[in-house]
Structure 1
């Protein structure tokens, strides 16, 4: 479903001519040095929007403005509007550069969006002001968390302003301590006597009573809307103000609404259902032809109507007036009349393609059956456009109202919940779908064949995510036997990996809990002959099996799996598959001693992916390779090529970066700092129950403890890692670590002497690790005769690199490369490149 973006939401509101300058508030806004955020908080009618719009209009620097409404309670919609506002203000296509984050079928992790925005803000050279008006409409905790992160790491040249009627659910107290917030509240916003007097003078109101301004100030408490209402009252000679709790409602009804012609009253009551007043839409709703003239007249008369965009001639009613009109509409119309009006307004919006607005309207007015119908009609477009959070919000409303939701909508709702890892709710919904079948037999209907297929797959992937591999295989086998149904959802693109550098750490990776290779291979032989071979998920079967084979030390077969997996990555344009496979391919080349070939793979991948989080993972892998070559300075340079908002925070799959940073500190012999990071990552891994990450972090902490002379802690950490590794078949995760062979020997000696571990590690497993940890020996005399430089050239030759590329990678001339090749051919007793490559492959080089 194509989203409709309202240009008027990102336009700074026009400042009415009668508004006075409030220098004392400008002084607060000009505070120097500028804090990160200014919070303007007060009840309705205190002039929050007015003072901020006045301030922005007098700035000589770019200012982005977003007028927030209740529909912005969808993180995807909210942040896209923020990006569009910033792009509009800076005249830089930030929204286009980050639009890939919102092309997904589910909401990406909030750090991914916020950190991407922070990176874009860092490269903006000029100062930038960002205003979020009416933030009180935002109720979702995830948006509050995202805003908090944005403010915590906001660059110095960017300032954020937030206007809200209610107290912000943000860590304002900590910002006060850090002196990075300015707060403007009711006391500051309230009019002073001088400002009341100046306001009436500018409005040309003749005050025939000397105490008029003092009376207004006394009865309104300096409330800006009350001051304005008092002026209207005086202009109309309508009487005195009433200082009761219902003052606003009574005043607007008695002093404003009741004085208008009946036709204008009806126009207001009917059109106030709409959030944005488009004259053509108002004409259709009220069956009139002069809506623009009526709206313009309301603006001219000061009847709390705001012109949003002169270009598009759109308007909205002030929130105070809208609330009064809603109350009067409910009082004046019967239930049947009100329902007919809502259906008419919603139908007009729906017919214009404003589907979200239409659905929100009928939900707000409790027409749940109609909302369910429209949601189902637009379901495919909602899913394709990535509005998953909005769908969840809508269906939650329907379920809370005990509305029977369409089966298809309920199923896609369950898939949406799975993408945000709310497995508890997914289980409830899948059970509900099964119960619905018992009641109405929906699964037996031909038109629901595809939905039944999706439900089986959904249950299977939930069990896979929970690590229940046997149940997963059972359900997938059931799916294979019945065959996939090629319907409208069959080709819906699904992104299984947003940012992880290792597929084992995705929801498909069973938390790193591997089954035996023989069992997996048997399953895949059947699985890959089914209809799933045309499905996106098949690529992940190759990628995940490649990672398992790598751990088992079966490198050549792993490379074959990577090759097939990359085919799917390119076919479906999936960087979440492409990057991890490229990282793994380079790792295998490193193990085989092909350092130059590994860097070639990673450099090529870096050129293919623009996203900073993928680049950071690849750079971390290159840094790790440099560490293994004892190039500490090169590793540090590579590791810190991309700035991190918080170097020691685990986020966006960046545990790879942190563990490489840990190894960098170890290389510098900063053991205590390295230990701190290793323990931090292990704590995080235990929290999410990620086995491979716990093993890797435990191994590093064991090495650190050993260097710090805390041997018992070192061997306990290593024993824990080995126990987990032996149960899931992990090997290379240990032997890839420099110094592991010595640590393993010391551990076995300690275990023999102390005998303090109750759980035994299988002896054959320890022997395999010891054997794999030994340096590779060249058994062939011809290969042994090659120098280290000649071996580098031979490895590049095997990887398919041309003479020119070899020269560039090895910093040699092409002539020198030809000389090396001649020597290699002679020592290997071959006559061509092809023969040399075949000979080299015999030695697994």
Structure 2
């Protein structure tokens, strides 16, 4: 005999997919399947009932979104097969405790007096009545989510007036146990403001310092509009929360109408002094942030350590942006000293992020990556994944992860943090996040997704009145067009930002989103690849010297990579290879990978030559670690590099006429589309695309995709 617990009776996601697929659930997207599996928690009966109901709904995603224990088929099953099979005493226990996210004997006794809760919980768990023992917790249970929503629906139907009273009893029990978070949750559900507001006042700033923004946002959303009128400190906490959950514009509007902007209250003005520069900085109004922050610094210290720390951290970033590194480091030191006296996870996160950003500007990828990882961990509760931390540090952690060419991990991080940074409206984070996602899409051959992401970024810039975001989207679009060989389109896109006021700010200030992707470098890259390469080489040399003199090593290295392209194209290939080897050795030491690979084939052909030279060197003179780096770069370019120049004596000949469809496939191939993306674009299967490619290779006497494109370009079939 074997004992089988409830976890072994649950379907995995793969098993749920088989069940639903077997019922021909066409149109159920992977994310909808995952959401449905999460709601049913793998409960086989729940999955089956959902699959039956899905047959009658055209809008699958909407059905999954609304699916709960109150769904008619689920409710009928739970009512007849589970709820009505219990005794009246147990049914009352189930209803009254359904409001709880966790069930312990003591808490249940508070809600259902004169009953032995421990015995009932153990019996229900033993009978597998959709009750689960919480792993790692002693005598702590929870209801299956569908069963909980069913019970709550029954409670509201049978005893609507009891709901608020039960929440109030639960809140008081948690408060007595010194557990303020669940206590406040239940107080807000009960509507008892006279008890919840004092409790919130005692704990709100410790939670704010921990970075619990979404939790606080949920609480403040549940309060009536004028509930905080006589609680100015809580109102300021609400404004901080608004800033980090809905963005600076919502917070600034709320501050202006709050009546607290010019308050002299000792518990209020320090927050206003700190909040204003934060909001201006997030709005990309750096000059206003500097002036407001400078006035705030003159009033330090105040009686509010949280606000002082926020102001110091913000102004360290502002000074760094202005190139005043000494002042920035001085403020960071002050922030570190303050942390030792008044520990704050949020301030630790921000301080580590700022120091990591300075490392990034200085070209120290390894150090920056370590700091960003530490910053993310500073706001993660024990046992949670690295995607649960603060988006401010999280997206920069994704940036260094991407730079290290850890594409899968970077993609996972970006999927979590980009929605958060977009909702908040952080300009540099949005620029860097969308840029990385578009480049990852280009690597995957999904060209349509590349342009969709850049169009979305540009639209966000217009919508949020952030000209630099618009400029950055256009710069990246121009870069993609240049990689596709559309030099005229790339030049026209650059012309749209040449006189842009936002473009000049990328030269004046140290802005993380435009450190190595800024208008002047984009213009010089175009000249190096498609224009006057010799003149571009002179300008690149001068610009790189300025960058290195300003300790902007990352920018300097990026300029030197493009310089190598310009030198080679202007007929100075030996000089180009010498210069490139020196630059790549520096990139190797500092940990740069994607910055090299993202320059594409114009640089890749030079890397290939260096790799061949290093491979041919004698074992005595060979630098093994540098050769390994070059090998990784060579492999990173993959099949994107053009084939070696053909023998002039062997003319490219078209062995058979290409069909119209094959010419179309060649054009898509030249623009970087993958097989899957081409199949979707053409409305055919992947095997059909492969057939077209085999025919193309045969007719062009080519052995690979890139050989076929090169041959087609020599014949003038594609540009």
Q: Give the structure-2-normalised TM-score.
A: 0.50
TM norm structure 1: 0.44
Q: Which has the larger radius of gyration?
A: 1
Q: Which structure is higher in RCO with an 8 Å CA cutoff and minimum separation 6?
A: 1
Between Structure 1 and Structure 2, which shows a larger proportion of helix residues?
Answer: 2
